[in-house]
Amino acid sequence: MGDVQPPLRKVNVTRYVMPLREGGSLPAIAEADDDFLYVLKFSGAGQGVRALIADLIGGEIARMLGFKVPEIVLANLDSAFGRTEADEEIQELLRKSEGLNLGIHYLAGAISFDAAVVTIDPFMASQIVWLDALLTNVDRTARNTNMLMWKKELWLIDHGAALYFHHSGGNWKGQAMRPFVPIKDHVLLPLASELETVDKVFSALLTTERLRSIVALIPDEWLADNTFNATVAEMKNIYVQFLIIRIQSSTIFVKEAQHARASLI
């Protein structure tokens, strides 16, 4: 496992295939000029580029820790792309999303993880719970697991609801040291009996160099407008330092998860 993260591939979106679900963000399946299909997350939707940043950071940290994560690419949307789209809402979304968006390789035939059907061992459950507590990911619940089974293997997807500190600005250092109370709703928490062991392993793996390498993947244009009135370089450093402080204070979120688990079992 190296310290330098390879750059994300860039593709050009060539065809809008279909929206994935109703709602404000309207992610879609789209085809790119490499002939692959991607789940496209739009910069002009919902929480905007901050959701894309969280998805990128969360996905690449998960990959670095050894989880299976579909390839993440930067997907360029040309200004002429949406002109033939008949649906006015989608056309407006495409217009607002011209430029770089986030593409996640589409796992054709994958099915949503169901805890009642698929057995996860306590160590893997603890790994995933630890990851989501680190990232403050509120979106891995029984209602929406954001995990897929593909070719009999577990894949993690959609970390766009993580790192929610960047939506509010303010004292990010203080937010980095807070317990993660929503962990009580994590779909795998009842199985996560090995959090302390995972904490030692994962904390050692996520070095400053590796975190900087991941944060460096964020396109500068996604960082120009932020809630901290920071420059692009300053904003990248905020993400790195937030994660470093959180890892250094991991006992706080581990104990919160253990406390929440004790109330469930």
Q: Which of 62, 80, 105 is the last residue of a domain?
A: 105
User: Is the Cβ–Cβ distance between 54 and 163 less than 8 Å?
Assistant: yes
Q: Which of 43, 74, 105 is the last residue of a domain?
A: 105
What's the full length of the chain, in residues? 265
Per residue in 137-166, pLDDT tens? 999 999 999 999 999 999 999 999 999 999
144 with 255, same domain? yes
138 with 20, same domain? no
Q: Which of 74, 105, 136 is the last residue of a domain?
A: 105
Q: Is 3 domain-assigned?
A: no
Q: What global pTM score does this model have?
A: 0.96
Q: For the chain, what is the domain count?
A: 2
Domain containing 60 equals 10-105
pLDDT at 89 over 90: no
Per residue in 43-58, pLDDT tens? 998 889 999 999 999 9
Tokens of 50: 């901050």
